[in-house]
Amino acid sequence: MTTLTKTEDAPAPTDPDAFLSVRDLRVHFSTEDGLVKAVDGLSFDLERGQTLGIVGESGSGKSVTNLSILGLHNPQSSTITGEILLDGQDLTDASDKELEKLRGNKMAMIFQDALTALSPYYTVGRQIAEPYMKHTGASKKEARARAIEMLGKVGIPDPKNRVDDYPHQFSGGMRQRAMIAMSLVCNPELLIADEPTTALDVTVQAQILDLLKDLQQEFGSAIILITHDLGVVANVADDLLVMYAGRAVERGSVREVLKRPEHPYTWGLLGSMPRLASDVSEPLRPIPGSPPSLLNPPAGCAFNPRCDYVDLVGGGRCTSERPLLPAGRGSACHLEAERKQQVFIEKIQPRLG
Amino acid sequence: MTMSEKNTNTTVEDAVPPPRAAASSEPLLEVKGLTKHFPIYGGFPIKRKVGAVQAVDGVTLSVYPGESLGLVGESGCGKSTTGRLLTRLLEPTDGSITYKGQDITHAGRKQLAPIRSEIQMIFQDPYASLNPRQTVGTIISSPMEINGINPPQGREARVRELLEIVGLNPEHYNRFPHEFSGGQRQRIGVARALALEPKLIVADEPVSALDVSIQAQVVNLLQELQRDLGIAFVFIAHDLSIVRHFSERVAVMYLGKVVEVADRDSLYERPRHPYTHALLSAVPEADLDQEKRERIRLAGDVPSPIMPPSGCRFRTRCWKAREKCATEEPPLIQLSGSREGHLTACHFPEEPTTEARETDVVMDPALVAIEKELSGEE
């Protein structure tokens, strides 16, 4: 019960301080095969200066959520309902012009693959300077100076000369740094990082994550960090949202979710990941089966075909009734709170080491 | 710290020899001074060799029957090239490869044919490594067809048996690869590797293209196969936690060289090479009690293998580098205080512990600058 009484610590969904607040967001794509419900009823809040980690496997809707915040989805093939409030302004019905003013200025994005996200045709310096010129009305010269300053800040050696290089002349880690410089050039209040380190080596990943964390302290941006790796969020995020099949299944502070996870899917994720200190004679506990198709998700709880604990919930509720995610700390699961704790302590925790 | 870990710590003191090395004296596969340089051509109008990518440069390793050897390192360190050299998909520039006492360094196609059926490979990308125009049955039976193997029960029955071993439905015999998910495709790749009952499987990043929840399924499958069928594995991966889980012995590579090789416990708990320390400290862990771990942040990326640094190749990113490191290449030797079979190539090795240091090692200039600023403000 301790975890339940702790909910006051977690941001309540009707948080007036929330800088970004997403309410019942639904992003549906109509395809030839039918309606793909990529995001289906997602709500979360983010305060200034905080980092929210969104964890999920491919196809869980984590990237689509963030593309729709930035308004980068294709309006022809998708329908968006719900609310995305950025500093009180609803982005779902904002015009392209309004969005354009916000993108790169108030909100910015760091993509996974820096080589495809950067244009091969323009120098790195020009790509960093462009949003600065557009949003602040700075001259070319000022923007160039700003680009050099930003490159230096993110740790590109000799920024005065490297500013005129093309992306292909940079190494993988440097390109990612250049993209961070580009996203921070206008001091955005919201920074969305979509798998920013997945394409990088571990030692470089550690550098980039620390850099993001340090830069956040300096710039005070709110960050949404999307990743599939629980290890990455453990280090960087304050709050955590676990997504499965287009819905959030668990929410809480990083410590709560990693130390006292409540949802069977989160248990599965933690159990299938070997750790540096785990017992090697113990086999990994993978989640059986594979993620569901979003065209035809299972009825009730989307995780029920892969869940080991369906039997503990009586009355076939898992296959008929969709569990709701409570506000604040909690998980979308029919298991009773005491049962969850009991299962976690008896079956899951001993394996995690 | 769990109970079992304490146990291993106490056994370390008894200096147990590396697990399999002593048990089975004859290595299955042995490579000495293995080198692969890919030539670079340039110039106009006549193209000539202007340099070489020194992908692998003097790697000495041995794989014992039934053991699992892990090969870790960052991209460009030559681990995949080493895998391809071990399977003789590439011909080494220098050095020697001995399989069961037979020198196959420059063996021709004919001589290699029987050996190739004993050394199989599992590839990283399950989408690119299966022919989309062939059925699962054809894919898995073609190694038998090529080698003229006719199992007593017939090839089709054998393929169905293999499908069952790797956890797929034997009725999927006539399906095409696109009908399967990533994890299932990787299982098809495993079944194909098993078709010839190999003695050694080189698995090149077999799980890195898969989702987290699926990775564990494939790792468990490979582990069962290794145990039940006694197949030796060379497990190439960049994920240190997975390699630790899978391999009894682990070699760390950096820029074409093995910098440290040891049994699992020694390498992960008492590493000596600074690069191994840096790698281990960079692993993102879902464990929140991080304070106990040392924090090392290197500067920049891995240098180009076209012009590797002189002497010790890690010296350009190392915090302990001195003059000697630039002039003299450190040999891969057993340092005093290391367990038997624990070899390290370093002039100035680190303390054998991964506990947090008094001061963090932060080499990255940007991090140093910002952290200084932030701590000054406080």
Calculate how close chain A gets to B64, using CA atoms only, in Å.
20
Q: Which pLDDT does position A7 carry in this prediction?
A: 33
Calculate how close chain B gets to A258, using CA atoms only, in Å.
7
Q: From edge to edge, which strands make up the β-sheet containing A330-331?
A: A107-110, A190-194, A222-227, A51-55, A239-244, A247-253, A330-331
Q: Is the pLDDT of residue B376 over 80?
A: no
Calculate how close chain B gets to A85, using CA atoms only, in Å.
31
* B212: nearest CB among A172, A273, A353: A273
Q: Residue A56 CA to chain centroid, in angstroms?
A: 9
Scan residues 217-236 of B and list those with Cβ closer than 8 Å to A.
217, 219-220, 223
Q: Tell me how far apart the alpha carbons of residues B362 and B353 are, in angstroms, rounded to a whole number.
A: 18
Residues with Cβ within 8 Å of B148's Cβ and at least 6 positions away in sequence, in order, are none
- Encoded tokens for A100: 């354009």
Q: Is the pLDDT of residue B24 over 80?
A: no
pLDDT-derived band at B278, boundaries 50, 70, 90: very high
Instruction: Find the residue in B nearest to A351 (Cα).
Output: B2
Single-letter code of the amino acid located at A349? Q
Check if the beta carbon of residue A178 is closer than 8 Å to that of residue A118.
Answer: yes
Q: Which of B20, B323, B142, B376 is nearest to A214 (CA)?
A: B376
Q: Which pLDDT does position A14 carry in this prediction?
A: 52
Instruction: Find the residue in A nearest to B361 (Cα).
Output: A207
ipTM greater than cut 0.90: no
Residues of B with CB below 8 A from A204's CB? Answer: 74, 301
Q: At A163, is the secondary structure helix, strand, or coil?
A: coil
Decide if B279 and A203 are in contact by the 8 Å CB cutoff.
yes
**∠ Cα A163 A165 A170 (to 5°):** 105
Answer whether B209 touches A (CB < 8 Å).
Answer: no
Q: Is the pLDDT of residue B22 over 80?
A: no
pLDDT-derived band at B378, boundaries 50, 70, 90: low
Check if the beta carbon of residue A85 is closer than 8 Å to that of residue A21.
Answer: yes
Residues of A with CB below 8 A from B213's CB? Answer: 57, 268-269, 272, 286-287, 290-291
Answer whether B284 touches A (CB < 8 Å).
Answer: yes
Q: What is the pLDDT of residues B289-322, one digit of tens each?
A: 766 788 899 988 888 888 899 999 999 999 999 9
C-beta neighbour count of B97 within 10 angstroms: 21
Block residue for tokens 């409570």? A326
Block residue for tokens 């410590």? A255
Q: Which pLDDT does position B219 carry in this prediction?
A: 92
Q: At A157, is the secondary structure helix, strand, or coil?
A: coil
Q: Residue B99 CA to chain centroid, in angstroms?
A: 19
Q: What is the pLDDT of residues B244-271, one digit of tens each?
A: 999 999 999 999 999 999 999 999 999 9
Residue A17 Ramachandran class (φ > 0 left, ψ -120 to 50 alpha, else beta): alpha
DSSP structural state of residue A97? H
- Encoded tokens for B347: 């002039």
Single-letter code of the amino acid located at B175? R
Say what angle helices B182-194 and B155-165 make with each other, to 10 degrees: 130
* B286: nearest CB among A171, A234, A291: A234
Residue among B287, B293, B296, B360 with most chain A CBs within 10 A, to mutate: B287
Instruction: Find the residue in B nearest to A293 (Cα).
Output: B181
Q: Which pLDDT does position A2 carry in this prediction?
A: 37
DSSP A295-336: SSPPSSSTTGGG-TTGGGSGGGHHHHSPPPPPSSSEE--SS-
Q: Tell me how far apart the alpha carbons of residues B201 and A284 are, in angstroms, rounded to a whole number.
A: 21
Burial A9-42 (b: 16+ CB within 10 A, else e): ebbebeeeebbbbbbebbbbbeeeeeebbbbbbb
Q: Tell me how far apart the alpha carbons of residues B157 and B362 are, in angstroms, rounded to a whole number.
A: 59
Q: Tell me how far apart the alpha carbons of residues B76 and B84 are, in angstroms, rounded to a whole number.
A: 14
Q: Is the pLDDT of residue B8 over 50?
A: no
Q: HEC profile for chain B?
A: CCHHHHHHHHHHHCCCCCHHHHHCCCCCEEEEEEEEEEEEEECCCCCEEEEEEEEEEEEEEEECCCCEEEEECCCCCCHHHHHHHHCCCCCCCEEEEEECCEECCCCCHHHHHHHHCCEEEECCCCCCCCCCCCCHHHHHHHHHHHCCCCCCCCHHHHHHHHHHHCCCCHHHHHCCHHHCCHHHHHHHHHHHHHCCCCCEEEEECCCCCCCHHHHHHHHHHHHHHHHHHCCEEEEEECCHHHHHHHCCEEEEEECCEEEEEEEHHHHHHCCCCHHHHHHHHHCCCCCCCHHHECCEECCCCCCCCCCCCCCCCCHHHCCCCCHHHHHCCCCCEECCCCCCCCEECCCCCCCCCCECCCCCEECCHHHHHHHHHHHHHC
Burial B167-178 (b: 16+ CB within 10 A, else e): bbeeebbebbbe
Residues of A with CB below 8 A from B366's CB? Answer: 152-155, 177, 211
Q: Which pLDDT does position A157 carry in this prediction?
A: 86
Scan residues 63-122 of B and list those with Cβ closer than 8 Å to A.
74-75
Q: Tell me how far apart the alpha carbons of residues B118 and B198 are, in angstroms, rounded to a whole number.
A: 4
Answer whether B375 touches A (CB < 8 Å).
Answer: no
Residues of A with CB below 8 A from B302's CB? Answer: 201
Calculate how close chain A gets to B104, using CA atoms only, in Å.
33
Block residue for tokens 């495809």? A116
Q: Which of A266, A203, A261, A235 is nearest to A56 (CA)?
A: A266
pLDDT-derived band at B132, boundaries 50, 70, 90: very high
Scan residues 150-189 of A and list those with Cβ closer than 8 Å to B.
152-155, 157, 171-174, 177
Query: Rounded mean pLDDT of chain B?
Result: 87
Residue among B74, B212, B247 with most chain A CBs within 10 A, to mutate: B212
Check if the beta carbon of residue B303 is closer than 8 Å to that of residue B256.
Answer: no
Give the residue-averaged pLDDT of B214-225. 91
C-beta neighbour count of B29 within 10 angstroms: 25
Secondary structure E strands in chain A: 20-31, 34-46, 51-55, 78-86, 89-90, 107-110, 190-194, 222-227, 239-244, 247-253, 330-331
Q: Which pLDDT does position A8 carry in this prediction?
A: 33
Instruction: Find the residue in B nearest to A150 (Cα).
Output: B366
**pTM assigned to the model:** 0.86
Q: Is the pLDDT of residue B349 over 60?
A: yes
Q: What is the pLDDT of residues B143-158, one digit of tens each?
A: 999 888 889 999 999 9
Instruction: Find the residue in A nearest to B243 (Cα).
Output: A274
Q: At A208, is the secondary structure helix, strand, or coil?
A: helix
Scan residues 293-332 of B and list those with Cβ closer than 8 Å to A.
297-302
User: Which segments of chain A have a pLDDT < 70?
Assistant: 1-16, 353
- Encoded tokens for A110: 């760091």
Single-letter code of the amino acid located at B377? E
β-pairing verdict for A78-86 and A89-90? antiparallel
Q: What is the pLDDT of residues B171-219, one digit of tens each?
A: 999 999 998 988 899 999 999 999 999 999 999 999 988 888 888 999 9
Q: Which pLDDT does position B377 carry in this prediction?
A: 59
Which residues, in sequence order, are bridge partners of residue B40?
B51
